[in-house]
Amino acid sequence: MSQSSSSATIKFAYWVPNVSGGLVVSTIPQRTDWSLEYNQKLAQTAEKAGFDYALSQIRFTAGYGAEHQHESVSFSQAILHATTKLKVLAAILPGPWHPAVVAKQLATIDHISNGRIAINVVSGWFKGEFQALGEPWLEHDERYRRSNEFIRVLKGIWTQDKFTFKGDFYRINDYTLSPKPLQKPHPEIFQGGSSRAARDNAASVSDWYFTNGNTPEGIKAQIDDIQAKARENGHKVRIGVNAFIIARDTEEEAKAVLDDIIKHAHVEAVHAFGDAVKQAGKASPEGEGNWAKSTFEDLVQYNDGFRTNLIGTPQQIAERIVHLKSIGVDLILAGFLHFIEEVEYFGRKVLPLVRELEAQRAAATSADTSADTREAEAATSAA
Ligand SMILES: Cc1cc2nc3c(=O)[nH]c(=O)nc-3n(C[C@H](O)[C@H](O)[C@H](O)COP(=O)(O)O)c2cc1C
């Protein structure tokens, strides 16, 4: 069954480059920078360009082309200070973080930012990072069981007084958080993956499900599966898809940039990253983890963003985005090579076309609906 998006207009997020090396594992020269100064300017550019969200990344240690990493919660706050409309997603790893600490921290940030903080609950793929911190590395599906409890605790603390929880991973005793977050019922909760466990989590507790880049057919299969489960659970979840966007005036230019990124791939780092993520997903019993089918070229972008194929002219990209929306995608999570310049170009050249196409489709749908209604009325009066 085809699934239409639940939002009137598709939303846009961008990856915050708070980790060095940009969003590709490639030695191609990039003007993207991981500094605060660059990121604040980028956030202001993105907000002006029409982006709704910025997604920070959580990384504790170097590896796979990412030498330096700013911490996600503190960095998100700095971005919020520099903006007025953008929502910022702080990424959190259950394990190092306790959900009550996060609930408290984010409630305060929600007040300071006037209701603009959200959270991405990351279940973890980087075993070396957990080992470095002396944190136990749980099996794949156990990591999701922990994330599930983590999210239920967050929601409980954010919405209830005297909240009590007795889980396998977390225990909360009669806890009352004050002040509660400004956003009601609570700040939005995002969560990513592709595996069965990730989908089931999204279909039961998360507000948003993020997934790696993929073909429209692959994305649609995931969405249909998740939304069917969510309906069974009486739960509402929205879908965000990763894409590495290369928009240029001609298709040839855009494709040449992609070729160049892949030609300059940091081969050793790509292989090491591929080994780590495939290993992390191995324990996922059905073998459908995020990177289960990724090729070498796919892995040059951390989250398979080339596969979504938002690479071409503004018109081609806008049409593909609107198609993704028609199969149930609510948000595009975008990565770019030279972030500031390309976010600005996207806002100027691509986004207005997306809005135009969305308006045309909405008008065509309402014309179809009126024609159907008239036909039905005519049939009734003839009977
Ligand atoms: C959009 C998106 C953002 C993610 N951000 C992070 C992150 O910042 N840090 C991290 O360690 N993992 C991150 N992950 C990894 C996921 O939390 C999860 O570990 C991974 O997708 C495993 O997927 P699987 O369950 O399909 O194997 C992200 C995943 C997605 C799809």
Q: Would you list the DSSP string of 134-188?
A: T-----HHHHHHHHHHHHHHHHHHHH-SSEEEE-SS-EEEEE--SSPPSSSS-S-
pLDDT the model gives residue 361: 92
pLDDT the model gives residue 374: 77
Say which DSSP state 306 is in: G
Name the residue of 123, 142, 191, 333 to mutate for ligand 1: max ligand atoms within 8 A of Cβ: 123
Prior bond to 185 cis, omega within 30? Answer: yes
For residue 83 and ligand 1, the question of a CB distance below 6 A is answered with: no
Backbone angles phi, psi at 227, to 5 degrees: -70, -30
Name the residue of 120, 211, 278, 331 to mutate for ligand 1: max ligand atoms within 8 A of Cβ: 120
Protein residue whose Cα sits closest to atom 20 of ligand 1? 193
Helix (H, G, I), strand (E, B) or coil at 12: strand
Residue ranges and CATH numbers for the domains of the chain are: 11-377 (3.20.20.30)
Contact predicate 35/78, CB 8 Å? no
Backbone angles phi, psi at 190, to 5 degrees: -105, 155
pLDDT the model gives residue 1: 37
pLDDT the model gives residue 3: 45
For residue 290 and ligand 1, the question of a CB distance below 6 A is answered with: yes
Task: State the closest ligand 1 atom to the C-alpha of 211, by its place in the atom list counted from 1.
Answer: 31
pLDDT the model gives residue 368: 79
For residue 281 and ligand 1, the question of a CB distance below 6 A is answered with: yes
pLDDT the model gives residue 236: 98
pTM for the whole structure:
0.93
pLDDT tens, N- to C-terminus, the chain (383 residues): 334 454 689 999 999 999 999 999 999 999 999 999 999 999 999 999 999 999 999 999 988 878 999 999 999 999 999 999 999 999 999 999 999 999 999 999 999 999 999 999 999 888 989 999 999 999 999 999 999 999 999 999 999 999 999 999 999 999 999 999 999 999 999 999 889 999 999 999 999 999 999 999 999 999 999 999 999 999 999 999 999 999 999 999 999 999 999 999 998 999 988 888 877 776 566 666 777 888 899 998 989 999 999 999 999 999 999 999 999 999 999 999 999 999 999 999 999 999 999 999 998 888 877 777 777 777 766 65
For residue 305 and ligand 1, the question of a CB distance below 6 A is answered with: no
For residue 123 and ligand 1, the question of a CB distance below 6 A is answered with: yes
